[in-house]
Amino acid sequence: MDPFYYRLTRSFWRGSHEGSINVDPLEVLDSDSIFRFSERVVSQAAEEGNCVIVGRGSQHFLQERPDTLRFFFYAPREDKIQRLVAQGTRRRQAEHLVDTVDRERAAFIKTFFHVNWPNRPVYHAMINTSAGEETVIRTMLSFMQAEPAQGAA
């Protein structure tokens, strides 16, 4: 998400005389342009088939495609913190990171898709990763191997 001061400056620029001169619009790398680019990349990857896309709003970009499986992975806060600590992150930093990332994910989904995170109806399954990697993998594979129900998307 772009900081408030950046969004404010951009709105003044677009509404100013300089911003309305008949020249190519200034291409800025901001959250809106990254969002549009992400949508194109995710859609193109899905068109090419057989891919795994993690995050980037892909669950919403692809929710109308009947040839996708959409999983939401979650874990209790303490488990996420412990994973980061095990990778060498200091506990206090891990706590901050877990809280910040979840807050930013929620803000991203709310801002660009106008729904609360996680938006449960777009997922085929929500999987608690605390069950362990093998369990998560087996669960995903069972969905991939299942015959689709008649008329199901």
What pLDDT was estimated at residue 106? 94
Tell how far CA 39 is from the center of its chain.
Answer: 11
What pLDDT was estimated at residue 136? 97
Query: Domain 69-147's class?
Result: alpha beta
Instruction: Give residue-wise pLDDT tens across range 46-82.
Output: 999 889 999 889 999 999 999 999 999 999 999 999 9
Alpha-carbon distance of 37 to 16, in angstroms, equals 26
Q: Which residues of the chain are modeled with pLDDT < 70?
A: 1-29, 147-153
Residue 54 token pair: 């993690």
What pLDDT was estimated at residue 18? 47
What pLDDT was estimated at residue 153? 44
The ranges assigned to domains in the chain are 1-19+26-51, 69-147
Helix ranges restricted to H, 114-146? 133-145
Nearest to 70 by CA among 144, 148, 130: 144
